[in-house]
Amino acid sequence: MAQVRAVQDADWPAIVAIQAQAYAPELLESEEALRAKGQMRPNLCSVLEDGEGIRAYCLAHAWSADSAPSLHATSHQHCDSDNIFLHDLALQPSCRGLGYARLLLDDILAQARAANFRSFTLVAVQNSAPFWSRFGFVADERSLPASYGEGAVFMSLRL
């Protein structure tokens, strides 16, 4: 049975491995960069485990609703925004269609509501905007750091 839990220090190699399976090479971040995002709001970062180990993860942190942080950055200033930036939600390709993304997203949405966050933003990469639209995210015409690549779409969701 799949369960969502907080990221632990020993989880980072699995997170990096899942990232490598989920994204194009130009979007891959170092473990150091991923950890930097995870340290901004550890309570908003989780993994999903099933009988085969860690199969998916979600990294999120507070960030201004008006912009997206740069990829690959290894340090970020603390932000007291009422918006959550969903930095990354990725799963092993063999887990697509199992509802794991929904489990992770439901978990982070519950945490966000409990902590009185008002909105979520994210950058949809690799033509994933239709996927995020199914969860209520709406495309927003904002300029993005070039690190997100061509075709990236800024999206938002009001809570």
Residue 132's pLDDT band (boundaries 50, 70, 90)? very high
pLDDT of residue 141: 83
Residue 77: per-residue pLDDT: 67
- Write down the pLDDT at residue 67: 87
pLDDT at site 11: 98
Whether the predicted pLDDT of 32 surpasses 70: yes
> 150 pLDDT exceeds 90?
no
If you average pLDDT over residues 7-34, what whole number do you get? Answer: 96
Is-contact 89 101, C-beta < 8 A?
Answer: yes
Domains and CATH numbers, the chain: 3-118 (3.40.630.30)
Cα–Cα distance for residue pair 50/1, rounded to 1 Å: 5
Query: Is the pLDDT assigned to residue 78 strictly greater than 70?
Result: no
Percent of the chain at pLDDT exceeding 70: 97
